[in-house]
Amino acid sequence: MSQWDRVTGVVFAVLSSTTFGLIPLFSLPLLNVGIGAPTILCYRFLLAAIAMAVIMLLSRRSFRLEHGHIGMIIALSILYAATAIILIESYEYIPSGIATTIHFLYPLVVTLTMAWFFKEKTTVVTYIAVAVSIIGVALLAWGNHTEGDFRRGVTLALITVVTYAAYIVGVMRSRVARVDSITLTFYVLVIGAALIFVYALLTSGIEPIHRLSDWRDLAMLALLCTVLSDYTLILAIKRIGSTRTSILGSMEPLTAVIVGVVYFDEHFDATSVAGLILIILAVILVIAQTKAKES
């Protein structure tokens, strides 16, 4: 691996996690003007799928799938769409920075899942990290209990940890691991958009978007926080590997916290800062442990 690959890999990893952490910056203004979460996600997934289709056409990738992959891709799409729905719903009860920080626990769940169900070796360090992360979540909730329905918000954010971890394990361990990453992402977004469309029809419906500023936020959610984030993630993993990319993923909750505090005046006191640090420390501890074991 050349020095240039390492440098560009780090840049892509930071860009990926930072743009994903910007989701609250564009979704909260839409929620605040009364646009429902299903409508926001439906437009986001649809616009992102169209953009991904353009990328596939320009790169001359095939849209063809093997018959045996379809069922698993649908299952993964359900997990991905459920994660997006539940995470944005949690913003209504707790600060977006808190929700994103809790969501960042998913690498721990992935590690435990691989150890318990796929018999990958783990150590006491992993379980220490889990304990540290639980303390971190408790501090986050404790430090912000005066605002919103924190019990419900934290519960929703914790559910996304499980759904997204299941999505990642499914991608890693199922037969779709052989599918091109961009092609897989395209179909997950397309099927996810269809699932969210049905969900919206059964709940709040699809609301029309009239204001230019709302279309701008939807476009940024689709292009910046979905397409660019996913695509740079793939580029980063190819250059510096999944472990280093995951470590740099700590930019995701940090970005969300900064956005929440600076732009939306979200409450984030010293106790919450301690919880944030513990969660990021726990995840980096597990990733560093994995790296050491690989070496």
Q: What are the pLDDT digits (tens) for 24-80?
A: 899 999 999 999 889 999 999 999 999 999 999 998 888 888 888 889 999 999 999
C-alpha distance from residue 207 to each of 33, 38, 65, 226, 265 (Å): 12, 9, 33, 21, 28
Give φ, ψ of 187 to 5 degrees.
-70, -35
From residue 106, give the alpha-carbon distance in Å to each of 208, 223, 249: 34, 24, 11
Tokens of 201: 């029809």
Give pLDDT, residue 245. 67
Residue 188 contacts residue 73 (beta carbons within 8 Å): yes
Contacts for 30 with CB less than 8 Å, ≥ 6 apart: 40, 214, 217, 218
Instruction: Determine the pLDDT at residue 247.
Output: 64
pLDDT band at 253 (very low <50, low <70, confident <90, very high): confident
Residue range 256-261: average pLDDT?
Answer: 82
**Burial 203-212, CB ≥16 within 10 A → b, else e:** eeeebebeee
Q: Is 94 helix (H, G, I), strand (E, B) or coil?
A: coil
Determine the number of helices (DSSP H) and then strands (DSSP E) in the chain: 13, 0
Higher pLDDT, residue 237 or 183? 183
- C-alpha–C-alpha distance, residues 295 and 292, integer Å: 5
pLDDT digits (tens, 9 = 90+) for 120-166: 776 777 778 778 877 877 776 666 555 557 788 889 999 999 998 88
- Given pLDDT bands bounded at 50, 70 and 90, which one contains residue 116? confident
d(CA 207, CA 183): 29
What secondary structure letter does DSSP report for 270? H
Report how far residue 151's alpha carbon sits from residue 162's, in angstroms, rounded to the nearest whole number.
Answer: 17
What confidence tens digit (pLDDT) does each residue in 164-189 have? 888 888 887 788 878 887 888 899 89
Q: What is the pLDDT of residues 75-105, one digit of tens each?
A: 999 999 999 999 999 988 888 878 888 887 8
Residue 113's pLDDT band (cuts 50, 70, 90): confident
At 198 the pLDDT is 92
Q: In the chain, where are the structural domains located?
A: 3-294
Of residues 223 and 235, which shows the higher confidence score?
223
Q: Which pLDDT belongs to residue 29? A: 93
Question: Of 124-138, 196-210, 278-292, where does mean pLDDT reach its minimum?
Answer: 278-292
